[in-house]
Amino acid sequence: MEKNIEELTLLLMYLTSWDEKGFIRDKNDEIKEEKVKTCWKGYSFDVINKLTDENYLYFSKGKSITLTHEGELLAEKLMDKYLKMD
């Protein structure tokens, strides 16, 4: 059940996110500016911490949080899993 809650939380974050310019570290550990998906932190902090530890979210001290590229990819797969309409 805990895994479902984490997946559904990430999916809701993705669905309620907005695009904005942000600064992220690329695979070479260099900081670059690109479009990122950001959402409010109105979710369980335990789940947010778990998703951050799993590198699906960037750490943030603010009121909003940003999805990593991996987080965006997983959320898109979760849309097929949970929202697939036949």
- Are 78 and 11 contacting, i.e. CB atoms less than 8 angstroms apart? yes
23-47 mean pLDDT: 90
Considering the segment(s) 2-83 as one domain, its CATH architecture is Orthogonal Bundle (1.10)
Residue 69 — φ and ψ, nearest 5°? Answer: -60, -40
Residue 85: per-residue pLDDT: 66
pLDDT confidence band for 24 (50 / 70 / 90): confident
Indicate the domain borders of the chain. Answer: 2-83
Tens digit of each residue's pLDDT (9 = 90 or more) over 59-83: 889 999 999 999 999 999 999 999 9
Residue 84: per-residue pLDDT: 83
Rounded Cα–Cα distance for residues 51 and 7 (Å): 9
Rounded Cα–Cα distance for residues 9 and 50 (Å): 11
Rounded Cα–Cα distance for residues 24 and 45 (Å): 22
Residue 58 has pLDDT above 90, yes or no: yes
Half-sphere exposure of 13 (CA within 13 A, CB side): 33
